[in-house]
Amino acid sequence: MSRSVLVSGGCGFLGSHLIDRLLRRSDLERLVVVDNLWTGTRDNIAHVTDPRFSLQVADAESFSSSQRFDEIIHLASPASPIWYMREPIRTIKANIGGALNLLTLLKPGGRFCFASTSEIYGDPQVSPQSESYRGSVDCTGPRAAYDESKRCTEALLFEQQRVSGLDVRVVRIFNTYGARTRMDDGRAISNFVIQALTTGVLTVYGDGSQSRSWGYVDDIVEGLERFFWRDSISHRGPLNIGNNQEVSVLRIAEFVSSLVPGSRIEHQPPVPQDPTNRCPDLTLARQVLPGWRAKTGYQEGIERTFEWFRQQIAAARM
């Protein structure tokens, strides 16, 4: 049976990788990407020539279509703190408004997939964080627009499942990095790589002891692909997807610095409410997606990411 799929935010970092996976499907009849190019870029999908693919430049919260879709994957939202803290109202609209609008474009019995985030756990009091952990979030803090709009969208979808039987898939994605990240993205690994390749000064906020679970994009997208459409599973989420090997920000900076002789690390004051730790409990993921794991170590993943950014910078200078 042929399927029509809509992806919001498909020109973004994660979205563009997911587009590549979707286009491998033999049952895919039509793939529509809705993206306002706020944080996504046309360059991320410039390689796509498949006739089933089309891009609609529009906001997820206002996009309209006479067509209804078998599957909708809602990714539209900035994921970097500097982007969502700069435009909080727009961030809330993208997540909640986007979900409310896109639900009207879903065929009866269709599947709605949502990319939630590990940020819904806030600055966690427990580690690792399991899906049952309710989090420690400041609903009026500087990250609230992103954290709370993701939490609210989860609530919206699971309530729709409860009252109308909506087929949902909700995944909580932990820190992800890799090729096709914006140069001005602002998150740690891309920041360090860009700084090492340009100024030679890597900025670490605070003492760098804050830890993250760094998931290489290929591993994360493999988990999303299996959960959203490839595996026949009944579980609807929320499901943690990430790397459960915690590494400090300082160690990441030191490794990136080692790739560029002469570069150095400079410490700046800590960022307000920067979570001290972030690590997924993957017990449920192992049950739902047997055999899946984030297998790429941070050194290998960073070396691949470093080479991609090096090529991008070289091309921009030509």
pTM here is 0.95
Give the integer Cα–Cα distance in Å for 248 and 250: 5
The whole-number average pLDDT for the span 287-308 is 97
CB 52 within 8 A of CB 19: no
The whole-number average pLDDT for the span 70-90 is 96
Residue 318 has pLDDT above 80, yes or no: no
Q: What mean pLDDT is reported for the chain?
A: 95
Helix ranges restricted to H, 80-183:
81-86, 88-92, 98-103, 144-164
**Banded model confidence at residue 263, pLDDT cuts 50, 70, 90:** very high
Q: Return the half-sphere exposure (C-beta side, CA atoms, 13 A cut-off) of residue 62.
A: 6
In the residue annotation, 205 being an active-site residue is answered as: no
Indicate the burial class of 220 (C-beta count within 10 angstroms; 0-12, 13-18, 19 or more). Answer: buried
Of the residues 84, 146, 177, 298, only one is catalytic, namely 146
Record the tokens describing residue 318, joined without a space.
């030509």
Residue 33 has pLDDT above 80, yes or no: yes
